[in-house]
Amino acid sequence: MADTTAIKKGAVIRHNNDLYVVTDFSFVNPGKGSAFTKTKMKSISAGKTIEITYKSGETVDVVQVSRQTMQYLYKNGEMFSFMNKETYETIDVSADVLEDESRYLKEGMDVIAVIHEEGIVAIQLPIKVQYTVKTAPPAVKGDSAGGNVTKEIVLENDLTIQAPIFIKEGEKVLVNTETGDYGGRVTE
């Protein structure tokens, strides 16, 4: 048992005899009242997402899970393959488990896998990930004067983001995997 401070993305909670993975959470203070934690979580067995709001400090049945650094190998049909870097064992995960996070995967990157009963129930990405820019339309002179200070660029893993107009193909950029926002240019 733990309290609401243990609620974080990837935490596994037992609720009504089912296990849920926390996919999102936020704090609310209704009308200047005391704090509550709004928790979005997905059933591991049924995949259904529910939303529960706990009073902050309330007891929550947080289930012990193991976390393991794993390397993303490749996409195989609808399954994503990850490898345990110590044992070289691979585990396949379906797209439903990864949801939005699959957009940020690139081959060879390390993620933290949340493991329950030998299956991956969620992955945690590094907050900032570096990608090489695959395509970026050239900046047109006068763009910034017209107020267009961003453009759409495509990264090595086909992820599309908004970036400043000065970013060029082949450059390396950082992306915030929590928001999908541009997080800076990497200069080497």
Structure tokens at 129: 């990930």
- Is position 5 an interface residue for another protein (rule: CB under 8 A)? no
Nearest distance from C-beta of residue 42 to another protein, angstroms = 16
95: enclosing H helix or E strand: helix 95-98
- Is position 6 an interface residue for another protein (rule: CB under 8 A)? no
Q: Which of 3, 18, 38, 116 binds another protein (CB under 8 A)?
A: 38
Q: Give residues 55-94 in contact with another protein (rule: CB under 8 A).
A: 55, 58-59
- Is position 51 an interface residue for another protein (rule: CB under 8 A)? yes
Q: Give residues 155-174 in contact with another protein (rule: CB under 8 A).
A: 162-164, 166
- Is position 28 an interface residue for another protein (rule: CB under 8 A)? yes
- Listed residue (184, 168, 186) closest to 176, CA to CA: 184
Tracing tokens 């107009």 back to the chain, one arrives at: 165
Q: Which is nearer to another protein, 33 or 108 (CB)?
A: 33
Long-range contacts of 21-25 (CB under 8 A, 24+ apart): 21/114, 21/121, 21/122, 23/49, 23/99, 23/122
Amino acid at residue number 26: S
Nearest distance from C-beta of residue 21 to another protein, angstroms = 19
- Is position 106 an interface residue for another protein (rule: CB under 8 A)? no
Q: Which is nearer to another protein, 37 or 102 (CB)?
A: 37
Binding mask 115-144 for another protein (x = CB under 8 A): ------------------------------
In Å, the largest CA–CA distance within the chain is 61
Query: 95 to each of 17, 47, 123, how far by Cα in Å?
Result: 25, 11, 12
Question: Strand, coil or helix: what is 99?
Answer: helix
Task: Compute φ and ψ for 6, nearest 5 degrees.
Answer: -80, -5
Question: Interface with another protein by CB under 8 A: which residues?
Answer: 16, 26-36, 38, 51-53, 55, 58-59, 147, 149-150, 162-164, 166, 179, 181-185
